[in-house]
Amino acid sequence: MRSINSVCVYCGSAPGRNPLYATVADELGRTLAGAGVRLVYGGGSVGLMGRIARSVLAHGGSVTGIIPQFLADREVMLKDADDLVVTADMHERKRLMFEKSDAFVAMPGGIGTLEEVVEMMTWAQLGQHDKPIALLDVDGFWRPLVDLLDHMRAEAFIRPGYELRYEVVAEVADLLPRLEAAQGAAAGRPEDAAVLRRM
């Protein structure tokens, strides 16, 4: 039986306009630390990235930061992370983030956050992995993306047999249980698939 020991969180290197984003980043960091789940993230010390990493560390959790050399100074990498990897480029960064993570979560963020989570959706759609993916939908942030994906499906660009597997989760308290259930469903455990249908 697999379990989720590490979660890659994609999020903004800015704090965003809504103060709730930072509050949820703090809560997610506390939740991951409390569950003994390692945070894998982009290595920065600013914006929501820095906020969630500091929260994990403040609550006794473990953090792996992965940042390309050219961003190490621009985003001011978080040197307090207990595992900090500086990569040659973005491709290596994304590969390592994928390899070191059991699941992927997108918090509010910009175009980089969007690109990273959509890439994980694409890889899953093409059968390259079955790791769970979740949009942490803080105050409805991800609704426009969900609507766009629904539109793509309605227009037959997301076809039967190539469905996207992702969760939309509004509350931090529901996140890890939903990821675990999605992981179980992907592994073919019927009891977890039933849990996922009830959520």
Q: pLDDT tens digits, residue range 88-132?
A: 999 999 999 999 999 999 999 999 999 999 999 999 999 999 999
pLDDT at 161: 86
Average pLDDT over residues 135-158: 97
Reported as a pLDDT band with limits 50, 70 and 90, residue 78 is confident
pLDDT at 197: 38
- Using the 8-state DSSP alphabet, how is residue 37 labeled? P
Flag whether pLDDT at 9 surpasses 80: yes
Average pLDDT over residues 1-7: 82
CATH class assigned to 6-172:
alpha beta
Give percent above pLDDT 70 in the chain: 92
Average pLDDT, rounded, for the chain: 92
Q: Which residues contact 84 (CB under 8 A, 6 or more apart)?
A: 43, 64, 65, 67, 77, 78
Strand blocks (E) in the chain: 6-10, 38-41, 63-68, 83-87, 103-106, 133-136, 167-169
Reported as a pLDDT band with limits 50, 70 and 90, residue 190 is very low
DSSP line for 104-159 = EEE-S--HHHHHHHHHHHHHHHTTS----EEEE-GGGTTHHHHHHHHHHHHTTSS-
Reported as a pLDDT band with limits 50, 70 and 90, residue 199 is very low
Task: For 158-186, give one letter per residue: b (16+ CB within 10 A) or e.
Answer: beeeeeeebbebeebeebbebbbbbbbbb
pLDDT at 75: 62
Domain boundaries, the chain: 6-172
pLDDT at 193: 44
